[in-house]
Amino acid sequence: MDQIAFLEPRPAVLSRRREIVADLLDLLPEGCLVHEPRELVPFETDAFVSYRRLPLAVALPETTQQVAAVLKYCHRYGVPVVPRGAGTSLAGGAIPQEDAVVIGLSKMAQILEVDFANRTATVQAGVTNLAISDAVSADGYFYAPDPSSQLACTIGGNIGMNSGGAHCLKYGVTTNNLLGVKLVLIDGTIVDLGGKALDAGGLDLLGVVCGGEGQLGIVTEATVRLVARPEGARPVLFGFDSSEEAGACVADVIGAGIIPVAIEFMDKPAIEICEAFAQAGYPMDVEALLIVEVEGSEAEMDAMLASIIEIAGRHGVKVVKECQSATEAALIWKGRKSAFGATGRIADYICMDGTVPLSQLPHVLRGTAEIVAKHGLRVANVFHAGDGNMHPLILFNANDPDDAARAEAAGNEILKLCVDAGGCLTGEHGVGIEKRDLMRHQYSEADLAQQMAVRAAFDPQWLLNPSKVFPLEGRPAA
Amino acid sequence: MTPIHEPLSEEAAARLVMIAGLSATPFSISGGGTRSLLPAADGAEQLSTRGLNGIVAYNPAEMTMTARAGTPLEKVEAALAENRQMLAFEPVDLRGVLGSSGIPTIGGVFATNASGPRRFVAGAARDSLLGVRFVNGKGEIVKAGGRVMKNVTGLDLAKLLAGSHGSLALLTEVTFRVLPMPETAVTIVISGLNDAEATAAMATAMGLPVEVSGAAHLPESVRGRFAGGALPDGAATVLRLEGLAASVSVRAQKLADAMAGFGAVSQCDAGLTQRLWREIRDAAPYADGTSRPLWRVSVAPTAGQQLVAALRLETGVDAFYDWQGGLVWLRMESDPEAALLRRYIKAVGGGHATLLRARPDVLAATDIFQPQADAVAALQTAVKASFDPGGLFRSRMTG
């Protein structure tokens, strides 16, 4: 199903492979360059496993200065560079190409400073998302964005993709929790954007670097906002007879001015898959499930839940299940957060990530079911309903090329449906290569040209992660 | 008198910019003209969004609104209030301190990233901005972002336009997130703390699970000029709590207990709270009818009082603090002391200072926006050129 094209490798780079490796070995300490083909295999793809390319070499620098030295070299000799965090991208954001040097941040994994008085943590880009919260939790703080891959994914990757998570309904996504970065530009220049002070003194360059998918520079350090952990948090399960009723309930809860920390949605196939994996105690006799989490003191949680239960009652809620212990609460989230992994155990899947306006949820859920049925496939829906960020998992058999092609076609149709409903192609996973060729469905030529012009302002030669985000045809001449 | 252009549609604005490009006629972009103190660039014609007026879409259940850039802020807030919703970032109204008239517009609010007290927990204007439509310097109509809460499709150009002060493009339409209005609000007041003690008290409060939504320190020199003098004697460190009434009263008790060790604690009711925080938002004590230099400084929360203490040794300043101490409103006696101020900002760990008010000749001669490091300035110039290659849009921010 190799349909998404990569840029043609530059012959001038491929032919100098040996020289480039020798030069990079000189630039980096021992053990910081991977170049044996066999050892390059772990870097050939990310969590978007249907595509893979063996890179020219992988640099694993230990300092910002080393990142700068490698970038300066690649810039001078016109060698493409692909940044990599933990390689958990679902959109192919970290997949390399044959003529590229991968810069992996895995050796830069130190927490540099925790500053409770200013509620900030300054960390190296290779620190995992969860490690930040772990480092501050004993003092009653946490780092809010919580992508499902938070055990593995790095803050550098989170910044590249502007990652979200289940709890961003209340706390926002990466860009809302990021105060500053140390950024290495393609020519090796090191700049500091932002810091512990709020907002930019000039143009908000940090705002466009976050979510820039590694095309604007390589982030080596980040200063993030810490938040005081709430007194308590309680997830509650609401089971419904239909997806439409669950979707309408979400819209009414938000419309009533109630903003829980999280509202997660699962349909029957997703419930079955996750329950089999996590034994989370999900009700099995419902067609759709909402996990609604509220937080605060006991009294606050009780008051908010009473309002939500009343609204759910108007939508014929069949089951309301409050968890009785912290263990039960943890299980409920384990089930939800392992949805992708659990699905991967029973079938191959591709995960879509379109976001739609809340009022369109029932319509898009119906349309998704129709599209998938038309292609003779199955779908499990599990997503962040409170902000309309959908995640249909299209199940298929990767060993059957026809099946795989149909899954990809169905996925593209679903994303177009999301855009046509007033939404977007991707809410938190990023464009990568996966959605690159659909960009014209969402943006006009002028829209894309403006984005590409900004990209070129940072990287005029298009060396950084060059096969991603923007359709390959119609790019400006570098 | 320089000509003022007020296109009545996005298409007309695009045409105007395209034609101006042919003769390289520069523009100075304005919204409601509330920042009229900032002099337009020499020879630039004024391009106003005032003709682009009206709410395009508002769906309270989706917590989003789309409005044309020239829509008066008042109209936006009134429509939101009808549904008990609001802008989370509490846009600042500078008319008082600038002594200016004019009607703040929603486009101007986003173009200046004008964010008030709740900013330090709920985000700035830029964090609420979901999507934009604009006319770039080539006269092209461009859209970026969208109308959904989560969107990482392509580069986040909306962030660049927020706070760009008319230097990149003419905003024609903005889509933004809104929040439910809190049912009630109270303020816990701790009296008699000096600036350093207040900074420590605010940091402690922000570490508690009580969701403080405003944290300001009003030194003795300004305290009496807030809330009609209703705050207790001595400096006032004020902490706001918002939400459901039942929850607010529980949290207020917890917070008051935790703050008792710092100083005498009292409480303001909802009415006084509303007035107090509006005045903090708009720097009301400095709405003094003078043109004494007024700075808005953003540093790390603990650095605010260090900065002021250092400045006091060298020059006459009057100051109060918002954002847990990180936003400093700073009024100088006569000279803006830009070089001194920026040297000390660097010394306390970095940040930025914007000169909002001074005599016209002083404003013209001072870097009103924070100068950037060379490499960052070069990036800014390149980004500016990517929106406006002909340099049509003149702004103090990018020259």
Give the C-alpha separation, B49 to B31, whole Å. 5
More reliable by pLDDT, B91 or A167 = B91
pLDDT value at B212 more than 70: yes
Three-state SS at A73? helix
Annotated domain spans of chain B: 1-181+369-399, 184-268, 284-367
**For the residues A386-403, what does the mean pLDDT come to?**
92
More confident: A219 or A231: A219
CATH class of A11-104: alpha beta
Class of domain B184-268: alpha beta
Determine the residue of chain A that is closest to B212 in CA distance.
Answer: A228
User: Can you list the alpha helix ranges (DSSP code H) found in A338-381?
Assistant: 339-346, 361-374
What's the pLDDT score for residue A165?
87
A-chain residues near B148 (CB < 8 A): 355-357, 387-389, 422-424, 427
Per-residue pLDDT reduced to its tens digit, B66-76: 999 999 999 99
Chain A residues with CB-CB distance to B146 below 8 A: 422-424, 442
Structure confidence at residue B38 as a pLDDT band (50, 70, 90)? low
d(CA A153, CA A172): 18
Distance of residue B161 Cα from the nearest chain A Cα, in angstroms: 8
- Quick one: pLDDT band at residue B274, thresholds 50, 70, 90? very high
Name the residue of chain B whose CA is nearest to A169's CA: B149
Domain boundary assignment for chain A:
11-104, 111-228, 233-339, 347-420
User: What's the pLDDT score for residue B84?
Assistant: 93
d(CA B226, nearest CA chain A) in Å = 25
pLDDT exceeds 90 at position A338: no
Cβ of B162 within 8 Å of Cβ of A201? The answer is no
The CATH number of B284-367 is: 3.30.70.120
Contact A197 B352 (CB under 8 A): yes
Interface probe, candidates A198, A307, A436, chain B, greatest B C-beta count within 10 A: A198
Nearest-neighbour CA in chain A from B100: distance (Å): 24
Q: CA of B282, closest CA in chain A: separation in Å? A: 18
- For domain A347-420, the CATH architecture is 2-Layer Sandwich (3.30)
Are the Cβ atoms of B352 and A201 closer than 8 angstroms? yes
- Facing residues of A82 across strands? A102
β-bridge pairing B236-243 and B184-191: antiparallel
Q: Do A357 and B147 touch (CB under 8 A)?
A: yes
Nearest-CA distance from A233 to chain B in Å?
12
Largest CA distance in chain A: 70
| Cα–Cα nearest to A80, from A436, A468, A434, A439 | A468
Nearest chain B residue (CA) to A470:
B154
Q: Which residues on A lie below 8 Å from B250 (Cβ)? A: 297, 299-300
A46 and A213 in contact (C-beta within 8 Å)? Answer: no
**Which pLDDT does position A445 carry in this prediction?**
96
* Architecture of the domain made up of B1-181+369-399: 2-Layer Sandwich (3.30)
- Does the pLDDT of residue B37 top 60, yes or no? no
Nearest to B61 among A358, A457, A470 (CB): A358
- Condensed to tens digits (0 to 9), the pLDDT of residues B1-33 reads 578 899 999 999 999 999 999 999 899 999 888
- Which of B61, B207, B209 is nearest residue A359 as measured by Cβ atoms? B61
Residue of chain A minimizing CA distance to B202? A117
In this chain, the answer to whether the domains covering A111-228 and A233-339 adopt an identical fold is no
Look at residue A318 in the predicted model and tell me its pLDDT: 95
pLDDT above 70 as % of chain A: 99
Interchain contact, B127 vs A175, CB within 8 Å: yes
Residue A202 with chain B: CB contacts under 8 Å: 352, 369-370, 372, 376-377, 380, 397-398
Q: Which chain A positions have a beta carbon within 8 Å of B120's beta carbon? A: 198
Mean pLDDT over B190-208 rounds to 98
**Helical spans, DSSP H, in A292-358:** 298-314, 326-337, 339-346
Mutation target to probe the A interface, by most A beta carbons within 10 A, among B58, B130, B133, B150 is: B150
Element spanning B304, H or E: helix B303-312
Quote the minimal CA–CA distance from B381 to chain A in Å: 9
- The number of C-beta contacts closer than 8 angstroms across A and B is 283
**Mind telling me how many Å the CA of A253 is from chain B's nearest CA?**
8
pLDDT tens sequence across A80-122: 999 999 999 999 999 999 999 999 999 999 999 999 999 999 9
CATH architecture of A233-339: 2-Layer Sandwich (3.30)
b/e map A328-346, b = 16+ CB within 10 Å: bbebbbebbbbbbebbbee
Interface contact flag, A208 B115, Cβ < 8 Å: no
The answer to whether the Cβ–Cβ distance between B350 and A197 falls below 8 Å is yes
From B163's Cα to the closest Cα of chain A, the distance in A is 7
Check if the beta carbon of residue B197 is closer than 8 Å to that of residue B184.
Answer: no
Mapped to the 3 state alphabet, what secondary structure does A242-294 carry? CHHHHHHHHHHHHHCCCCCCEEEEEEHHHHHHHHHHHCCCCCCCCCEEEEEEE
Q: Do B184-268 and B1-181+369-399 have the same topology in CATH?
A: no
Query: How far off is chain A from B361, nearest CA to CA, in Å?
Result: 22
**What confidence score (pLDDT) does residue B129 get?**
98
- Report the chain A residue with the minimal C-alpha distance to residue B243: A300
Closest CA to A297 of B286, B347, B255: B255
In this predicted structure, the answer to whether residue B61 has a pLDDT above a threshold of 90 is no
Which chain A residues contact residue B372 at CB under 8 A? 201-202
Mutant choice from B140, B151, B384 vs A, greatest count of A C-beta within 10 A: B151
Is A193 in contact with B376 (Cβ distance < 8 A)?
A: yes
The 10 Å Cβ neighbour count of residue B78 is 10
Say whether pLDDT at A1 is over 60: no
Q: Looking at residue B40, what is its pLDDT?
A: 60
CB nearest B300 (choices: A118, A205, A429): A118
> Between B140, B151, B349, which is nearest A196 by CB?
B349
- Among the CATH numbers 3.30.465.10, 3.40.50.11540, 3.20.20.70, 3.30.70.260, which is that of A111-228? 3.30.465.10
Res A478: pLDDT:
59
User: Which of B148, B176, B307 to probe the A interface (max A CBs under 10 A)?
Assistant: B148
Torsions phi, psi for A445 (to 5 deg):
-60, -40
Is the Cβ pair B150, A458 closer than 8 Å? no
Task: For A460, name the nearest residue in chain B, comparing CA atoms only.
Answer: B382
The pLDDT value recorded for residue B396 is 87
ipTM surpassing 0.90: yes
Q: Which of A199, A229, A384 sits opposite B113 (nearest CB)?
A: A199
Look at A389 and B115 and tell me if their CB atoms are within 8 Å: no
CB A411 within 8 A of CB A349: no
In sequence order, which residues have a C-beta less than 8 Å from that of residue A120 and are 6 or more positions away? A113, A114, A179, A196, A223, A224, A225, A226, B300
Contact B149 A252 (CB under 8 A): no
> What number is the average pLDDT over the span B174-197?
97
Residues of chain B contacting residue A171, judged by C-beta atoms under 8 Å apart:
none
CA distance A144 to chain B (A): 12
What pairing do the DSSP bridges indicate for beta strands A81-84 and A101-104? Answer: parallel
CB contact under 8 A, A387 and B150: yes
Which residue from A minimizes the CA distance to B254? A297
Hey, are the CB atoms on A455 and B155 less than 8 Å from each other? yes
Distance from CA of A196 to the nearest CA of B (A): 5
Distance from CA of A137 to the nearest CA of B (A): 12
Q: Is the pLDDT of residue B43 over 50?
A: yes
